[in-house]
Every structure is written in structure tokens, then in C-alpha cells.
Structure 1
């Protein structure tokens, strides 16, 4: 089975013969297959969530099997593990002198770990993470091999606290942080076609995955050491290929972490993100707005201020409300995007009179009223009411001022 998979993936047959151990012959394999009527427990699919950028993930998309074949595929996968297939791939991934075979073996391990939770659990060992760290640290490892190792880390830490802890204890996170910081500016500006840029982008995704889903406070503190370099790059460039991966890394690291939020704010991170958002929004009249990038920046800002009034005060003098109102005024907004913007406005205006006043000047209260009248979305209506509730005091003051002027 392994030989066939390797051939299908393009590995040279001579390389396979030199490196792959002999598996049981087909007759013995067939004798051990479960009978057709025997029920076998299905280990559900292992999903990868959070801020991982799908464009930089190397993990392959899984083919959708017909419903009647799902059990057979699950049995086959379990049998492959039982006869030592997982161990064989593991040995090939770390010991072969052929880089191509290392890459393909890791690729197959990624597929198995992403498809079945029990494969992920089997591979979540200190030994395996240590081997991945060794490959990543080796200057002679190819870029593709390193990217495959990062893809392996992404799969092993997703929805897996044990994997996250092992990534830290094995120094994998330290190695990822080093790879993140040592990328050259020439590579960063070269764009997404450069393999080294793709490696860096994958590193951003892996750092974010190590920090959240589930939340891992120790990893969040460790990954926060990437903030100074990230802020320097954000300060120097508004390039899409730089801003998006960095934001996709920052978001999970600061999520629900007061330590990471405060550290990011203390070194000027909030101001940088606010300025980037303002620049994107101000380009509405000058050029086509990259709306998706603006939403990514806004959502990252939102993660930085949740339940953190001190961080909100950092943004009082950066016209953040005006930027969000411009976003909210874009035509043909999807309901999900509109809800995300209104919720962020709600968090910024809660217990912050400066932001409430800016919302009033930006005609935001009338827009919230319009949402209540026109929207059929219960969540969006609830978010608009939250904003209006935050601003009820300043609304009364504004009304009294209007009446006084009239008199």
C-alpha cells in the first residue's frame, strides 16, 4: 500500500526500493481485513480551524467519499496503522537520505493526521516533535521539506492541547519564531510566488495555531516575542502579502490574553493597525479598496481590545470609529461583515466617551437606527442596540444642545 501511494505521488521507484521496508504480502493482509458486516468505530474528521491562512496551508484537500464507502475507508486507514504503516512513514520521513521521499512521507502523515483524530494522537509525541524541530533547524533542509514540517505542526496542534504543549516543549515554537524573524526584506517584497515567502507565510499560520484553538496561554506569551518584528514590518509596508499573514498571526496570539494584548499595545501595535486601516479606507476615493484586507485588519484590532478598556483608550485619537463607519458604508456588504463591524464599534464605544462622540459626529447613531429598521437579522439588530445603548448618555447631551441652539 505504501509503495503504491509513493509511486502515485511521483517518487522514483529506485528510491522506494532503497528505502521502503518490506510489508506483509497481500494474502496475509487480506486474511486480516475485518469481515464486511463487522462494525468498526469511526474516529471523526480532524478539522483545522482558527486563523490559519488557507492559501499558505500545504495540507491537501480531502476527497469526499460516497457515504457508503466512508466506513470502508475508515477501516482501511485503521488497518494501515495497525500493520505499522504510520511507523514506516515516520521512519522514512526522518531517516531517508532522499529529500523527495522525506517530503512525500511527511505529506502522507499530514493527510492521515488531518483525516483521523487517532492518527493525530499517535503522532503527538515528544520524539516526533523533536524530529520536526531538527529538520526545521537544519540549514540543509530544503524549503519544501520545511514547509511540509510546518504543515505537520499545523495539523498536530489544531484542536489538540497536547500537540500545542509539545510544540513548545520541543522548541518547535522557538524555531518557528526564528524562521519568522530572519526572513529578508527582499523575500518579503518578492510576493507569493517565492518559495521562501511561502515558508514565512506558513510560519505565521503555525504560530497562530500554536497559540489558540484551544487557547494556550503559555504559547501566547511565548509567541508574543514576534510582535516587535511584526510591527516593524507593518510600519514599513502596506503590501497585502505582508499585512495579511502577520494579522493572521497576531489575532490568535492576543485572543483572550491580557498579557499579549497589553504587550502589543505597549509597543505601538494598536496605533500601527489603526493607521493601516485608515490608509485602506481613505483609498476608497483614490483606488479600489481591498475590502477583505481591511476586514482582516479590523478583526485583528477587535481581538486586541476585547475586554480591555486600556487598549481601547489607546485608539481614542486615531479616528478608528470614522474608519469603521466608512467600512460600514461600503455597498453590498455581506451580513456577516456588517455584523463584525457593528460589534467592533460596540466594543470601542463601551465606556469610552471619546469614541462615542466620534460616532455621533460620523452620523453613526442614525445608521444604527437604520439597521434596526431595515435589517431582518436578529444578531445584527442586537449589535446595533448595543451600540445605541452605549451612546444613550451622549445622545441626550446632543439632543439638549440642539434644543438649546433652537431656542
Structure 2
């Protein structure tokens, strides 16, 4: 009977009451939920949502009924996708509330916000609890709009639902985690978290929002090392320590912060170093070991394990460096040995190019003197003879017979004559 009233030609206000009654019945009774969770009802709700004649209150009630039928129910998640309601909800999520309306908070903001909030919660229920990877993949495109709404926003009514949606969308899905990180969404979360922690001492609301952002960051970096590296670059660990020891956090909230801290140091050496530099491990053990023994022990185990890996890596690098230095010293020693044993020096190569031959190393002969030094004048005389008795062809002879040729010959003679003599003289002086 209630369902018949909702789809009749009754006034909009009466339809709203009927939809609200069906929502309460679905939440309170499993049999009612099963009888309402039909393909037909999902189609009817989609028509209410897209109908331009529907009031915003009627649209909100329709979305709320879908939320009751989808929450913690894989069949409802499937029906939402197969009927096309999921795509419609994504469209409303992008268009109902814009960044400018959030910043200005005009008169229509409250009414629009209620519809937008219900849509956001329904999308979150559609992708997780239980996890639905197919719906997560479809809603992946919505994350870019989520990032746009978050940029520069510190309003709790916006941050809380968006962070909840992010956490549900990326949880347990590495491709979606990487996509959100690639978009820069994790950087935006880190910036918001940094700002909230900076103001947390003066504002309890900012402290609670910081915990909410912490949950979203943990979902993004769990089993996702690239995400942990992004948070490491933002130096999130010292800020997590600051948040962890605030007095206005309860034990459950501190546990959530500790879990995020563990995920940060598990996959990022920079975050581990920041924890140790800020004396974080000792503070955690001393302050929280009694109230959070299990979580604290897990964090301590992670730190010990990562420190061992880090130390082993440093040891391997040190050994590799030592071996490289030893190898370089050995190569240098071999090179010096070769220089001592070689019999050809640059001096000897130069003499060979000029046509001089020596029996030994010129450098050695200069040191020893004796026979090889005595042979140098004779070798230089032979070189002079070669220079003065160059073979002359017919063309060259004709040039010599002409006056110009004689002049050229004299030039040639003057050019070659000093070379042998000056060389001989200089070498004798040596």
C-alpha cells in the first residue's frame, strides 16, 4: 500500500512521506528490505531523481531510499549499477554542489547540500562494505571532482563525507589507489592534513577533521608504496605524532592515527627516518603501550623490521664501496707496474716518426750515456744525407733549370738544411 502511494499521482509531499516510510521499513526489517529491493523499484527511484518536475526534497527522499537498499548489500550494489542509477548519482554528485556554492554558502546551499550529501553517501555504499571492485572502477572518474571540491576547503560538512567516499573508493583496489595518487589527490589530502594539524591546538573541530583525513590517507597508501612515498615527501609522520599526543583524542581515534603511521613507515624509508629523528618510537612506547598494546606492538615490530632492512642495505652499499676502492687501487698498481716494465716511451715514438731507430729506451740512454749517445751523430749524419739526396723526378728537374726553379730550390735547401744540423747540435748539447 505504501509503495502504491509513492508511485501514484498523489501530491509531492505525500510521496515524500511514503518514500520516507519505505526507507524506515527497509532499515528496520530484513523481509521488508528484500521485498523492496527489486529492479522495478530502482527504475522508479531513478525516474523520480531525473524528473525535472520532482522537487529537490522528493529527489533527496528517493536517494535516501536507494541508500537504505544498497548499504551492506551486494545485491543492491549490483541493481544500482544495472539499472543505471549509479551513473545518474555520479552526475548529480558533480552538478548538485559546485565549488563556488561551497565557498559562498548562499541561501540554496543547505537544500542542495542535503541532496548532495545523500548522493555522496549512496556512492560510498555502492563501492564498498562489501567491496565492489566493478563499482569502484566506475566511480573512479568521480575522484577528480572530489579533488576539486577538497582544494582549499576546510569545512567539516564537506571534508567528512568526501574523505569517507575516498576511503571507500580506493580501499583494497590498487589501480584506483594509483589513479587517485596520479591525479594529485593524495597531495591535496596531505596539504589539508598539514593545515588542520597546525590549527588543532586551538580548534577541536580541526582535530576531528584531521583524524578523518588520516583515515582517507591510510586507505590510499595501504599496500601502495608509491602513495607512502608521496606522504613521505610531505613529512606527514611528524604531524601524525603531533596529532597522536593531543589530549582531545579518544582511544579509538589514536588507534586510527597509529595505523596510518604504521602504513607510512612500512613502505617509505624517509618516513621511518623522520619517526626516529623525532624520537617517535620512544614516545609511542612510553605513552601508549598500556592503552594500545596490540597496535603499539605492531608499530614497534614494523620499525624494528624496517630498521634491520635499512641497516642491511647500508652494509651492502658499504661493502660494495670498499670493494670498488680495492679494485681501483689494484688497477692503479698494475698500471704503475706496466709503466716500469715498458721499453717504448713517447720520446722513442717521436724519434721513430723522424726515422731514427734506437736499440733501447732513449730516456734510459740519456741516463746511462756511453754507446747509444755516441751513435747519435752517425744517425743524424745519415738523416742529413737522406734529406739532401731526395729523389728528383722530371718535373722537378725542369723547375730546377728555370730561374724560378733555382730560386725555389734554394728555398727548399734553406728549408731543409737547418733542420738536420740544428737537431744534431741540440742533441749533442744534451
TM-score (norm 2): 0.68
Aligned CA distance change for structure 1 residues 329 and 390 (closer, same or farther; 3 Å): farther
**Counterpart residue number, 2:98:** 184
Matches of 1:327 and 1:249, distance apart in 2: 23
Deviation at 1:238, TM superposition (A): 2.1
Aligned CA distance change for structure 1 residues 322 and 233 (closer, same or farther; 3 Å): same
What secondary structure does 2:212 align onto? helix
Is the 8 Å Cα contact of residues 150 and 159 (structure 2) preserved in structure 1?
A: yes
Deviation at 1:378, TM superposition (A): 3.3
Aligned CA distance change for structure 1 residues 165 and 126 (closer, same or farther; 3 Å): same
Any residues of structure 2 matched to 1:5-84 within 5 Å, and which?
A: none
What secondary structure does 1:350 align onto? helix
Which of 153-162 and 280-289 deviates more? 280-289
Out of 363, 366, 383, the position equivalent to 2:298 is 383
Rg larger for: 2
Matches of 1:321 and 1:112, distance apart in 2: 46
Is the 8 Å Cα contact of residues 349 and 355 (structure 1) preserved in structure 2?
A: yes
**Counterpart residue number, 2:232:** 316
**Counterpart residue number, 2:208:** 292
Deviation at 1:305, TM superposition (A): 1.2
- Are 1:156 and 2:74 an aligned pair? no
Is the 8 Å Cα contact of residues 272 and 303 (structure 2) preserved in structure 1?
A: no
**Counterpart residue number, 1:261:** 177
What secondary structure does 2:129 align onto? coil
Matches of 1:272 and 1:391, distance apart in 2: 28
> Which structure shows the higher helix fraction?
2
Matches of 1:357 and 1:167, distance apart in 2: 46
**Counterpart residue number, 1:82:** none
- Are 1:141 and 2:54 an aligned pair? yes
**Counterpart residue number, 1:15:** none
Any residues of structure 2 matched to 1:5-404 within 5 Å, and which?
A: 88-182=1-95, 183-189=97-103, 190=105, 194-284=110-200, 290-371=206-287, 374-393=289-308
Matches of 1:223 and 1:107, distance apart in 2: 27
Deviation at 1:310, TM superposition (A): 2.1
Is the 8 Å Cα contact of residues 368 and 387 (structure 1) preserved in structure 2?
A: no
Runs of at least 4 residues off by over 6 Å: 394-397
What secondary structure does 1:168 align onto? helix
Aligned CA distance change for structure 1 residues 342 and 395 (closer, same or farther; 3 Å): farther
What secondary structure does 2:267 align onto? coil
What secondary structure does 2:53 align onto? coil
Deviation at 1:124, TM superposition (A): 1.3
Aligned CA distance change for structure 1 residues 335 and 387 (closer, same or farther; 3 Å): farther
Matches of 1:303 and 1:102, distance apart in 2: 39
Matches of 2:69 and 2:116, distance apart in 1: 19
Deviation at 1:239, TM superposition (A): 2.1
Matches of 1:302 and 1:328, distance apart in 2: 15
Deviation at 1:131, TM superposition (A): 0.8
Aligned CA distance change for structure 1 residues 140 and 199 (closer, same or farther; 3 Å): same
Once the two structures are superposed, residues 114-171 of structure 1 have per-residue CA deviations (whole angstroms, 9 ceiling, x without a partner) of 1111211111111111111111111221111111111111110112111100001111
Matches of 2:8 and 2:305, distance apart in 1: 61
What secondary structure does 1:194 align onto? helix
Matches of 2:52 and 2:115, distance apart in 1: 14
With a CA cutoff of 8 Å and minimum separation of 6, indicate the structure with the bigger relative contact order.
1
- CA-atom RMSD, angstroms? 2.2
Deviation at 1:289, TM superposition (A): 5.5
Is the 8 Å Cα contact of residues 212 and 252 (structure 1) preserved in structure 2?
A: yes
